[in-house]
Amino acid sequence: MPLDHSLIGVESAPHERSWTSADTLLYALGVGAGTEELAFTTENSADVRQRVLPTFAVLAAQAPTGQRHGQRQGRRLGDFDPAMLVHAEQAFELHRELPPAGRVRTTSTVTGIYDKGSGALVTTEARAADAESGESLITSRSSVFIRGEGGFGGERGPRDEWAEPGRPPDHTVTYETRPDQALLYRLSGDRNPLHSDPAFAARAGFPRPILHGLCTYGITGRALLHAVAGSDPARFAAMSGRFSKPVFPGETLTVSIWVSTRTSDGGATALFRTAKEDGTVVIDRGRAAFRPA
Higher local confidence (pLDDT), 74 or 232: 232
* pLDDT bucket at 73, cuts 50 / 70 / 90: very low
* pLDDT bucket at 157, cuts 50 / 70 / 90: confident
Question: CA 12 to CA 22: how far, in whole Å?
Answer: 29
Higher local confidence (pLDDT), 22 or 204: 22
* pLDDT bucket at 204, cuts 50 / 70 / 90: confident
Catalytic residue among 190, 212, 226, 232: 190
pLDDT at 67: 47
Note if 212 is an active site residue. no
Question: CA 176 to CA 159: how far, in whole Å?
Answer: 32
For residue 218, give the 3-state DSSP assignment.
helix
* DSSP codes joined into one string, 23-63: HHHHHHHHTT--TT-HHHH-S--TT------TTHHHHHTPP
* pLDDT bucket at 75, cuts 50 / 70 / 90: low
- Which strand (E) or helix (H) includes residue 16? strand 15-19
Domains annotated for the chain, with CATH where assigned, are 5-290 (3.10.129.10)
* pLDDT bucket at 1, cuts 50 / 70 / 90: low
| Mean pLDDT for the stretch of residues 187-215 | 94
Question: CA 220 to CA 261: how far, in whole Å?
Answer: 19
| DSSP single-letter state for residue 208 | S
Nearest to residue 257, comparing CAs of 243, 275, 234, 244?
275
pLDDT at 80: 82
- Which strand (E) or helix (H) includes residue 7? none
Catalytic residue among 23, 87, 195, 284: 195
Summarize pLDDT for 26-64 with one digit per residue, the tens: 999 999 999 999 999 999 999 999 999 999 999 999 976
pLDDT at 154: 85
**Phi and psi (nearest 5°) for 36?**
-90, 0
* pLDDT bucket at 78, cuts 50 / 70 / 90: confident
**DSSP H helices in the chain:** 21-30, 38-41, 56-60, 65-68, 181-185, 198-203, 213-228
Note if 69 is an active site residue. no
